[in-house]
Amino acid sequence: MSVATRKSDGSGPPDRRSEILDAAATAFAARGIAGTSMREIGDAVGLNAGALYHYFRSKGAIVTELVTGYLTDLLDDYRAAGAENLDPRARLKAIVDVSLATAATRGDATKVYQAEFENLRRLEDFVEARRLAQSIQAVWLDAIEAGKDAGVLRKDIPTRVFHRFLRDSVWFTVYWHKPDDGYSLDELAEDCISVFLDGMGADAER
């Protein structure tokens, strides 16, 4: 799977465009969008600046396609998981599973989105990305509300506060979880759900 995107808009050879998006994601994750030049992206894929502009009209166009493609695929994966048909705990677990898998397989694009989107979302070209981000947020918020309605989650904690704590804990694993450390994504997901739904306090009767 491509790190940057699994889909192309059809303009230009898809493989080459994906290669450019992958290289850009790696550079943006390491140096930030502002700290990365088109020349650096071109050098990473063996293209001079003129050739790179044949595929993307600007660095902003690369960023837009990278982020929009990432969010499109993430939303599709949430929907494919069928979480809305599960009980509240399993529903949250399914969302966490998809998120952790995305962070593990598309780490650079995940880092770019988490670090840069708050500033990017105000840009005119990010109308579609904002819509996708809102739909993704709704997946999380609806699951939390369902948990409250079922009596699985406390109602005195604001939904958006719980969402931010859980979401950030999940997505920031991209910075520390390693695929070769013997701690599987499924174990990580189970532990994450257990901490947030069961707590860390030891049972006094044990």
Per-residue buried b or exposed e for 144-168, using 16+ beta carbons within 10 Å of the residue's own CB = bbbbbeeeebeeeeebeebbeebbe
Q: Is the pLDDT of residue 204 over 50?
A: no
Closest CA relative to residue 104, chosen from 33, 183, 14, 195: 183
Q: What is the pLDDT of residues 110-149, one digit of tens each?
A: 999 999 998 888 888 899 999 999 999 999 999 999 999 9
Q: Compute the distance between CA of residue 46 and CA of residue 133 in angstroms, rounded to an integer.
A: 33
- Count the domains in the chain: 1
Query: Is 50 in contact with 113 (CB distance < 8 Å)?
Result: no
Report the Cα 41 to chain-centroid distance in Å.
22
Band of the pLDDT at 14, cuts 50, 70, 90? low
Q: Is the pLDDT of residue 206 over 70?
A: no
In a domain, residue 56? The reply is: no
In a domain, residue 141? The reply is: yes
What backbone torsions phi and psi does residue 145 show, to the nearest 5 degrees? -60, -40
End-to-end CA distance of the chain: 46
Q: Compute the distance between CA of residue 127 and CA of residue 146 in angstroms, rounded to an integer.
A: 29
Q: Is the pLDDT of residue 1 over 60?
A: no
In a domain, residue 50? The reply is: no
From 7-11, 68-72, 115-119, 130-134, the region with the lowest mean pLDDT: 7-11
In a domain, residue 191? The reply is: yes
In a domain, residue 42? The reply is: no
Range of the domain at 193: 63-198
| pLDDT given for residue 11 in this prediction | 52
| pLDDT given for residue 2 in this prediction | 54
Query: Is 189 in contact with 100 (CB distance < 8 Å)?
Result: yes
The tokens for 26 are 């790696």
Domain CATH code at residue 147: 1.10.357.10
In a domain, residue 149? The reply is: yes
In a domain, residue 132? The reply is: yes
In a domain, residue 163? The reply is: yes
Q: Which DSSP string corresponds to 43-79? A: HHHT--HHHHHHH-SSHHHHHHHHHHHHHHHHHHHHH
Sheet strands (E) in the chain: none
| pLDDT given for residue 123 in this prediction | 84
| pLDDT given for residue 6 in this prediction | 52
